[in-house]
Amino acid sequence: QTQPQQTTGQATGAGQVAAQTRQTTVATEEQLLDAIGAATDPGASQVDRAEWAADGKTARTTLSEIVRMRNTTGQPSLDVTDIVQTGDHATATITVAFPGNWGSWTFPNSGFQYLDGKWKLQKSAVCSLAQASLTKCY
């Protein structure tokens, strides 16, 4: 369930008033999990995965390494809790649990940003997933 949150700002310049309106969807567990899943989808191309990262192309290599590692360990279960949203930014706690004896990790304050009509992973979220996958972050 999404509910738009609307903010309007006004600026005055050269006798003109310009209004800017922007809508941000309330961050839900489902939306953030969908963003994580899409950014680390082994069936998606590097370009498609990068579309789910706020840093786009910069995150490609790290996201590919996460996928490569998960192909070795198996797909983890993911959980997103403690969502705190401020405008078009949100933080959440991501819990990653790998199958077998690979263990689980919890990453508080993982960042997300609402861009281009969807929630995307910020660098802190990508790096959390990279750390859980035992790979370097960009």
Reported as a single tens digit per residue, the pLDDT across 74-108 is 889 999 999 999 999 999 999 999 888 878 999 99
| Domain range 27-132, CATH class | alpha beta
- On average, the pLDDT of the chain sits at 86
Task: Quote the pTM value.
Answer: 0.81
Q: What letter represents residue 75's amino acid?
A: Q
Residue with tokens 């961050």, as numbered in its chain = 27
Q: What are phi and psi of 11, to 5 degrees?
A: -130, 145
Q: CA 41 to CA 46: how far, in whole Å?
A: 9
Task: Work out the pLDDT band at 8, boundaries 50, 70, 90.
Answer: very low
Predicted pLDDT of residue 43:
95
Identify the DSSP state of 59. Answer: G
